[in-house]
Structure 1
Amino acid sequence: MSRSTALVDLFSNKLSVVLPTIAVLLGALFVRALFAADPLSHIPEVGRELGSNEKRRQAFLANAKALYRDGYQKFKDGVFQIVTSKANTSVVVVAPRYLDELKKLPDSIISMEDAVAQSLHAKYTKLPVGDNTVAHTIKSSLNPALPHLNQELLDEVEQSFLAELPPCDDWTPIRFHGKLLRIVARVSGRVFVGPELGRDEGYLDAAINYTVEVMNARRAIDRMQPWKRPFLAWRLPEVKRLDERFRQATAILRPIVEARMRLGPDERPNDMLQWLMDDSQAKFGKQSSARLAQMQLALSFASIHTTTMTGTNALYDLAAHPELATELRQEIVSVLAANNGIMSTHALQAMKKLDSFLKESLRLHPPGASSFQRKVRQPITLSTGENIPAGVVIEAAAHAVTRDPRIFDDPEEFRPLRFYEMRQRYREEGSVDQAARNQFVSVSSNALSFGYGRHACPGRFFAANEIKLIVATCILLYDVRLAGGATERYKNFEFGTSSIPDPSKELVFRRVAG
C-alpha cells in the first residue's frame, strides 16, 4: 500500500468517527436555539395580531407611526417591542419616564453611534459615524458665532427668495418644497462653505441630492440578505453612486481647500469649512480634501433636508390658516422696530409667537415616529425591573408623545400660540426655567424631534435661526394660500418611521403691498 493511500484511509477512518460527533453537536445547537428562551419575552409586543414577522414588517413599512402610537396608548408608562422594517428585528420602545435615567448611561453601555451605524449601514454608505469632529466644531465654533452670522444669513435668505421665486405681483402658484430646498441649501452653504461656493450649482447639486442617495442606498442594502452584504453591498448601484458623489464633492472642494491652506491666520474666512480645517488639523494634522468633503456631505445630510421639511410643514400650516399671518407679521414688524430694523439673534428670540407657531407645527408634524435611538452594548435593567439584553435597539415614541392628552390639551388641534401662552403663564408664575423649556429649540422628554440628552442635535440652534429667518422673511414679503381654493392642510406622506410634507403640492404666493 502506498503512503498516500494509507493517509487517505487514515483520514477516512478518523472522519467516520468525527462526523457523527459534529452532527450531534450541530443538532444540539439547533435544538438549543430553537427552544432557547426569548430574552425579550417579558416585554409585550405590539402588532402580534397581524400575523407573521413578515406581515408585521410590512405593516411597519406601511405605517410605523400607527404601531408606535398603538403601543404607546396601551403601555403609556412602560415598555413594548415592535418588529421593524428589517426582518426578524425588534426594537424596544420606552416611555418618556425612562429617558432621564437612560440619558445618564455612558456610551459604553448604550450607544447612539452604534444605533445610527446599524440603521444607515455606515460600513457601506461611508457616513462618518463615530467621528465627532463635526459635532465638536458645531458646538465650539458655529453656535458661538451665530449672533455675528445672522446678518449674512438674512442677506442670503433675501437673495435666495428673489432668485428662486417669481415676482408674485399677483397670486402665483409655486411648488414650494423644491424652491425651499434650494433656498435652505444656499443659506446653509453660506455658513458651511462660504458665499461663492455656496451658490455654485455643483455644490448645490451635491448638498441637495446626497441625502436622497444615502437613503436610496440604505433601502437597497436593507433589501439584501444580511449574510450577502459583506460580499455584494459595495457593488450595489446605489452604493456606487455614493462613491461617485464623494469624488464629485472632493473635486469641488480640493481647489478651495488648497487655496485656504496658503492663507495666513488673519485671512481665513469665518465659515464651517475653515473651522473644520482648523479643528481637524489641531487634533489630527492636516486633513485631505476627501476627508473634508466627507464631513461637508455629512453636514448636508444632517441639516438641509430636515430643515426644509420643517420649513415646508410650517408654510403648509400657515397657508391652511392664513388669518395667522397678520398676527405674526405684526409681531415681526414690532420686534424689528424695537431692534433698529435688524433681525438679530436677540430679535428672533423676541418673536415669541413665531417661535410658538414653529414649535406647534413641529409638534404636529415631527420628522419621524421615533427618537432617542440607542443600541445596548451591555445589558441594562430599567428602574421598573425590565431587563434589556445587549444587541437590542431602544427608542422613544416621539410622535405618540406629542398626541398624549396628559401632556397637551386637545393634542390633535393645531393651536399656533399654544407654547406662547404656556411660556407667558410660566413667567407669571415665576417659573422661568419651565418657560424656557417650551421654546422651539428646546429639548425635553415631551419634545424629542431634536433628540434628547447629551446627544441632542448640536446644530439645532443654527437650524432654528435659519428656519426663523426664512419663515419671518416669507411672512413679511408674501401672503400665502393653499392652491385651488383648498382649505384643509395638505397631508404628509408616511412610510416606515418617516413623515414628510408632500413635495408635489403647490402654494399660492402674492407679494405684500408696500
Structure 2
Amino acid sequence: MDSGRTTEPAPAEYLTMADIQNIWGAFGAKLPLILPTLVALLVVLLVQNVWSRRPLANIPVVGEELGGDQKRRQAYLSRAADLYLEGYKKFKDSVFRIVTPNKFTVVVVPPKYLRELRKLPDDVVSFDGAIEQSMHAKYTGILTGQSMIPHTIKTSLTPALVRLNPSIAEEVQHSIRQELPSCDDWTPVNINRKLLRIVALVSGRVFIGTELSRSEEYLDAAINYTVELMEARRALDAVRPWLRPLLGNRLPEVRRLNARIAQADRFLRPIVRARQQMREGDAPDDMLQWLLGSQDQFKQYTTEELARMQLGLTFAAIHTTTLTTTNVFYNLAAYPQYIPELRDEIRTVLAEHGGVFTSAALQAMKKVDSFLKETMRFTPAGAVSFQRKVTKSFTLSNGQVIPEGVVIEVPAAAASHDPDVFPDADKFDPWRFSRLREQARAAGEVEASALNQFVSVSPNILTFGFGRHACPGRFFAANEIKMIVANFVLNYDMALPEGVHERYKNLSFGSSSVPDPTKELLFKRIV
C-alpha cells in the first residue's frame, strides 16, 4: 500500500454508532454558542411575519362578535348589506375589513377617500385584477385588460348616440310591440322577463347589427351567457384554491360556459368575414364594425376573441340595464301617483322635439331622469362599488396603510342611504334630484347641477362606479332606459296586482341586490 496516499473518509452509510455519538457530542458541546444565534434568527422571522401582517391586523373586522371567519362568511351570504352598513356607521371615517365567502381579504374604504383613490395608477390599484380574481378569469375566460372596448365605447359609441337615437327608439318600440301582450284590459306581465328580451333586442341593434340582433340564436346567447357565467363563478368559488388548477376546467358549469363561447364564435364568424370584405361606405354603423375598425390601433383579434368581446358587452350591459329598468317599473307600479306627472313631461318634451327621441329631448326629461337616479339610489344593484386589487401597498391621507394583496371596495349602498348626505334617505323621493339640479342651477352652480344627472358619477351614488374606470357605456344605457320607460309611461297604466300593497322587496345574494324576477305587474293600454 502507498503510505503517501490520503485516506478517503468512509461513506456515510458506513458510519458506526460510535461515530454518530461523537458527532452529537461535538454538536452538544457547541450548542450554547449556537443557541443564541438560532433564537435571534427565530425572533427576526417572527418580527418580520408580524410586521408584514401589521397593516391588516390594525384594520378592524365587521362581525367580530360572531366568533370566527366561517360564521362571518355565512353571515355575509345572508346579510352582506347589513354588515357593510354596520361597518359604515361604526367606522365611518376609517377603513374596515369584511370576511367574504371568496376567501380573499376585502378592505372597505369610506367614500370620503374616493377622490384620492382615483388618482392612484393601475399598477397600484388594479381594476382588471379585481375582476380576474372575483370572476376567476383563468377558468371563465372573461376578458380583462382589453383597452379597445372602453376606448371604442368612449370614442365611437357615445358620440354616435346623437345619430343613433332614432334607430334605438325604433327598436324600442318594435320590441315592446313584439314582446308585450295587447293589454286592452288589466293584464299580468312578468316585466323582468319581457325586459330581458327588450333590452337584448335594443342593445343587439347597436352592438352587433341587424344581421343578428333579432335572431333567436343571438338572443339566447346574449341573455343566457351572463347566467352561465355567474353559475361558473359560484361553482369555482366552492372549489378550494389549490384544487382549481386540477378541477377548474372540468366543472360542468365551466364546460357549459365554454360551449356558449364556442357557439357565439360559430354564428359570429361568418358575420365578421362578411364585414371584412365590405367596402368602407357599405359597412354598418354599429359596435362590431367599430371594434373591427379599431384593431389597427390595438391588435388584430380572432373571431373567438371578438365573440368573447360581444359576450362581455352583453354581460356588462343587458342584465345590468334590465335590473335597473325592472327596479324602475316596480317603483312606478308601487307609486302610481307619480305616473301622470311623468307622462305630462314626456308628452310636452316630445311635442317640442317633433315627436322624436333626440338627445336634446332625452336631456330635457328632467323628472324622468330624476326618477331613474332616485331608483338607483334607493335600490342600488349591490352593497359595494369601486372594487380594486391592491398590487402595491399605499397609505391613505389618514395614515392608514392598505397592504398589497387585498381587494378594496367602497360601501355604495350604505353611502346612498346616509341621512347626512340625503335627507329622508329611507324614503323614495322621485323628484329629489330634479330639485337638487334646479337649486344648484338657481345658485349658478353649474357643476353641482350636472352632478345630479342620472349619468353622473359621484362619491354618493356609485352605481356606475367612479374615476377613470366608471362605466363607459352609461350614456347609451341611460338613453335606452329612458326610451323604454317613456314608451311604457306614454302607452300604459301600471299597478301592483290585487292584494299587493307595497313595492316588491329586492332579493339579496351576498353583496348583490336584484329585483325579484318572478313577480308580475298589471298593465293596461291607454291609447
Aligned mate of 1:81, from 82, 91, 97: 97
Matches within 5 A, 1:281-430: 281-285=296-300, 287-430=301-444
By how many angstroms is 1:402 displaced? 0.6
Cα deviation, residue 54, structure 1 = 0.5
CA contact (8 A) 2:383 2:511 kept: yes
Identity %: 55
Structure 2 residue aligned with 1:69, among 59, 79, 85? 85
Tell me the alpha carbon deviations over residues 414-454 of structure 1, each in whole angstroms, 9 at most, x when there is no partner. 00000011111111111111000000000001111100001
Deviation at 1:58, TM superposition (A): 0.7
- Name the counterpart of 2:497: 483
Cα displacement string for residues 282-339 of structure 1 (whole angstroms, at most 9, x for unaligned residues): 4213x32111101000000111000000000000000001111100000000000111
Q: 1:231 aligns with which of 246, 271, 278?
A: 246
- Cα distance per residue 1:69-114 (max 9 Å; x no partner): 0000111122111111223x33111111111011001001111110
Tell me by how many angstroms 1:140 deviates: 1.0
Q: State the distance in 2 between where 1:238 and 1:33 align.
A: 44
Greater shift, 398-407 or 78-87, is seen at 78-87
Structure-1 separation of matches of 2:47 and 2:259: 43
Shift of residue 485 of structure 1? 3.8
| 1:202 is aligned to 2:222 | no
In the TM superposition, what is the alpha-carbon distance from 1:495 to its structure 2 partner?
Answer: 1.2
The structural deviation recorded for 1:41 is 1.5
CA deviation after TM superposition for structure 1 residue 341, in Å: 0.9
CA displacement at 1:34 relative to structure 2: 12
Which blocks of at least 5 consecutive residues in structure 1 are unaligned? 1-5, 18-23
Alignment: residue pair count: 498
Worse-superposed segment, 34-43 or 407-416:
34-43
Detail structure 1 runs of 4+ shifted over 6 Å in the superposition. none
Return the alpha-carbon distance in structure 1 between the equivalents of residues 317 and 101 of structure 2. 24
Match for 2:410: what amino acid? A
SS in structure 1 at match of 2:226: helix
**Contact 2:384–2:411 (Cα < 8 Å) also in 1:** yes
SS at match of 1:131: coil
**Partners of 2:142 and 2:265 in 1: CA distance:** 15
Partner of 1:20 in structure 2?
none
Counterpart among 153, 170, 176 of residue 168 in structure 2 = 153
Q: How far apart are 1:57 and its partner, in Å?
A: 0.4
CA deviation after TM superposition for structure 1 residue 379, in Å: 0.8
Matched, 1:143 2:158: yes
2: CA distance, partners of 1:10 / 1:258: 75
Structure 1 match to 2:183:
168
Name the residue aligned to 2:281. Answer: 266
* Counterpart AA for 2:414: A
Q: Distance in 2 between matches of 1:33 and 1:231?
A: 36
Which of 95, 114, 124 is the equivalent residue of 1:109?
Answer: 124
The separation in 1 between residues aligned to 2:208 and 2:270, in whole angstroms, is: 13
Q: After TM superposition, list the pairs within 5 Å mapping 1:15-30 onto structure 2.
A: none
Relative to structure 1, the CA distance from residue 140 to residue 10 in structure 2 (aligned partners, 3 Å threshold; closer, same or farther) is: farther
- 1:372-414 Cα distance to aligned partner (Å, 9 max, x none): 1111111101100001110011110000001111100000000
Q: Distance in 2 between matches of 1:265 and 1:310?
A: 37
* Residue type at the aligned position of 1:259: A
1:280 CA drift (Å): 1.8
Q: Which structure: larger Rg?
A: 2
Of the three residues 199, 204, 212, the one matched with 2:227 is 212
Helix, strand or coil at the partner of 2:387: strand
Q: In 2, distance between residues paired with 1:194 and 1:137?
A: 16
Counterpart Cα distance in 1 of 2:46 and 2:241: 22
Unmatched tracts of structure 2, length 5 or more: 1-9, 18-22, 24-37
Task: State the Cα distance separating 1:281 from its structure 2 match.
Answer: 3.8
Which among 484, 508, 513 is matched to residue 494 of structure 1? Answer: 508
| Partner residue, 1:45 | 61
C-alpha spacing 1:298/1:51, structure 2 compared with 1 (3 Å): same
Query: Which residue identity is paired with 2:287?
Result: M
What are the within-5 Å matches in structure 2 for residues 89-128 of structure 1? 89-128=104-143
Instruction: Report the counterpart of residue 434 of structure 1 in structure 2.
Output: 448
The alignment's TM-score, normalised by the length of structure 2, stands at 0.91
CA RMSD in angstroms, aligned pairs only: 2.3
| Equivalent position amino acid for 1:55 in 2 | K
Q: TM-score, normalised by structure 1?
A: 0.93
